[in-house]
A and B are shown apart, each in its own frame.
Chain A
Amino acid sequence: SQELEQSPQSLIVQEGKNLTINCTSSKTLYGLYWYKQKYGEGLIFLMMLQKGGEEKSHEKITAKLDEKKQQSSLHITASQPSHAGIYLCGAPSQGGSEKLVFGKGTKLTVNP
């Protein structure tokens, strides 16, 4: 079955620093979704990547999809305390499936 591994598991950075979170799939990726979760809350959708080589940005967050490497990266530029939380990647369990499997998440702490 599809498995997603995220790295690092946790990350502590100083405000203003750039950072990257990776998500690697055990199988072919049929799209990749990034979510953010704050403690005690549900997951908030950030971005969706559907094609190899695709790159999307929202404010200071950029995500890329490398289909050949079965990998996606999430990059935050000039991090702020508001970026703190848990970032999770999700992907369809197989092509055309509605079932999304998720990585275990990367916990980000941004120190002011």
Chain B
Amino acid sequence: DAGVIQSPRHEVTEMGQEVTLRCKPISGHNSLFWYRQTMMRGLELLIYFNNNVPIDDSGMPEDRFSAKMPNASFSTLKIQPSEPRDSAVYFCATTPRDKSSGANVLTFGAGSRLTVL
């Protein structure tokens, strides 16, 4: 299994530009989470999906951020327009379908490092 795949790994853009980050979850994992990591705030949950449906987007900073999961094998996080304060590492993480044990072990992608100039 290739794990959780994120692209791009690095993105440098100018303020005002649109940014789209992509995530391919592990096959069979039905929950998908988008996190943002900064030095100041640590790892913050932005939004998560269950069976492709957004369950909680209370962590999305503002209307400039949007996320979609059109099918079980793909999700996007979009920032439009981008601002310098959006510079961070964005992680996608997924969990498997079987949660009967009560465990919720997240498998993380390698992250997308975004720099907004």
Chain A contacts to B: CB under 8 angstroms: 31, 33, 35, 40-45, 48, 50, 88, 90, 92, 98-105
A40 to B108 CA separation, bound complex (whole angstroms): 12
The answer on a CB contact under 8 Å between B105 and A48 is: yes
Of B45, B91, B99, the contact of A43 (CB 8 Å cutoff): B91
The answer on a CB contact under 8 Å between B111 and A41 is: yes
Residue of A nearest to B38 (CB): A104
Q: List 22 A-B contacts (CB under 8 A).
A: A35-B108, A42-B91, A42-B108, A42-B109, A42-B111, A43-B43, A43-B91, A43-B108, A44-B108, A45-B106, A45-B107, A88-B43, A90-B106, A98-B48, A98-B50, A98-B99, A99-B45, A99-B48, A100-B45, A102-B43, A103-B42, A104-B42
Asked whether B95 is an interface residue with its Cβ less than 8 Å from the other chain, the reply is: yes
Residue of A nearest to B59 (CB): A99
The answer on a CB contact under 8 Å between B95 and A98 is: yes
The answer on a CB contact under 8 Å between B105 and A45 is: yes
The answer on a CB contact under 8 Å between B110 and A41 is: yes
Q: Which residues of B contact A100 (CB under 8 A)?
A: 33, 45, 104, 106
Please indicate which of the listed interface residues A90, A92, A100, A105 has the most CB atoms of chain B within 10 Å of its own CB.
A100
Residue of B nearest to A43 (CB): B108
Q: Which residues of B contact A98 (CB under 8 A)?
A: 31, 48, 50, 55, 95, 99, 104
CB-contacts of B55-88 with A (<8 A): 55-56
